[in-house]
Structure 1
C-alpha cells in the first residue's frame, strides 16, 4: 500500500471512528456510569498531574519512588488514567522482587479504581479495553482535525476537497460543482491536497 493510499484510508475512516467514539461513550459500566465518564475522570487526573508539576521525589516516599522506578523500567507505554495504567503494567517479570513490586503497584491502582466506584461490575479488563480504545480513537480523530485545520489556514480548497471527497465520500462530480472546478483541476488538486496533508501530518 502506497503512502497516498494509507492517507486516503486513514481519512476515509474518520466518520467511522467518530461513530465508534459515540458508541463507546455510551457503554455502561453500571450504576449509571459510562465509559465517557471514566474518560473524563482520566483527563482530570492528567490535568492534575500537569498542574502539580513537581518531581516525584518531592511527594513520594522512598519506597513509593522504588515502585515508580520499577514501573518505569518495565512499562512500554504510559497511558493516561489509572485503568489504562494498570493494563500497561506487566503481571510478571524475570526478577522475583520486581514482580512482587509490580503486583503491589497493580494492587494500588486496583484499589484506586475501587475507591472511585469503578469496580461495580465484573469484567474490569473489558472496561479498560473499551476505555483505552476510546482514548486512542479520540487521539486519532483530534489529530486528523488538527492537521486539516492547519491545512485550511493556507490551502482552504485542499482542505475542502479532503472533507467533501475523501471524508464525506462525495463523488467528484458533486465536489467539482460545489467548488466550481473542472475535472482535471479537481484531480490535480486532490493529489496535491493528499500530499500536503501527508507533509503536515508527519
Structure 2
C-alpha cells in the first residue's frame, strides 16, 4: 500500500519532470522529446523492415536503397558509421550521384540530431531514458485510474483529489460528503482497489 501511495503522490512531480525533460535541448533546435519521437519512428521502421520495401518507399528511395545494397557489405550501427561506410564514388556517374545523395541524407540526420555539435551524448541518453521511464509510469497510473473510474468511480475520484491533487482529508471529505471515519475507510479501500488493478 505504501508503494502505491508514494507512486500516486509523485504523479504531479513526474508530470512536471516530463515537461522539463521534454524541453531539454540537445542542440540544433532539437529537444529530448523530439529524440523520443525519433526512437518511436525507428521502432516503426523496424516493423516496416519486415515488409517488402516497395510497399513503403517511393521510386527514388528504392534507387537509393539499391545503390546502398550494391556498395555496402554490411550496415553499421549509428548514422555516423553509416555515413563513413558509404563510398564517395561509384562505378559510374549515376551510382556516384546516388551515393552522394545517400551521404547528404545521412548528414542531414546527423545535423538534425545535434550529433555534430554535442559531445555529452551520455547525458542526452540518460535524460531520454529518464523521460521514457517517467512517461511509462505516468501512462500506467492513468490507465489504472481510468479502469478504476469505470469500476469504482468514487474511489478514483478520492485518489485523484487526495493523493494526486494533494487535497487534505478535510477538503476531500467535504467535497465528497464523507465523515472523517468514512473518508479513511474509503481511502484504504480505494488504494486496495488501485493496487489490485495495477498488478500485472
Asked if TM exceeds 0.5, the reply is: yes
Out of 159, 162, 178, the position equivalent to 2:156 is 159
Match of 1:18 in 2: 15
Rg: which structure is higher? 2
CA distance in 2, matches of 1:155, 1:168: 19
CA distance in 2, matches of 1:153, 1:39: 31
CA distance in 2, matches of 1:154, 1:126: 42
Give 4+ residue runs of structure 1 displaced > 3 Å after superposition: 50-54, 112-115
CA distance in 1, matches of 2:82, 2:9: 36
Match of 1:43 in 2: 40
Deviation string 1:51-101 (CA, Å, 9 cap, x unpaired) is: 5556xxxxxx9x97xxxxxxxxxxxxxxxxxxxxxxxxxxxxxxxxxxxxx
Match of 2:174 in 1: 177
Match of 2:99 in 1: none
Match of 1:100 in 2: none
Say if 1:189 and 1:50 are closer, same or farther in 2 by CA, change over 3 A: farther
Cα deviation for residue 111 of structure 1 reads 2.7
Say if 1:53 and 1:151 are closer, same or farther in 2 by CA, change over 3 A: farther
**Does 2:194 match 1:194?**
no
Structure 2 unaligned regions, length at least 5: 52-68, 84-105
* C-alpha RMSD of the superposition: 2.3
Match of 1:111 in 2: 80
CA distance in 2, matches of 1:178, 1:33: 44
**Does 2:34 match 1:34?**
no
CA distance in 1, matches of 2:192, 2:50: 39
CA distance in 2, matches of 1:113, 1:197: 48
Scaled by the length of structure 1, the TM-score of the pair is 0.68
Q: Helix, strand or coil for the counterpart of 2:77?
A: helix
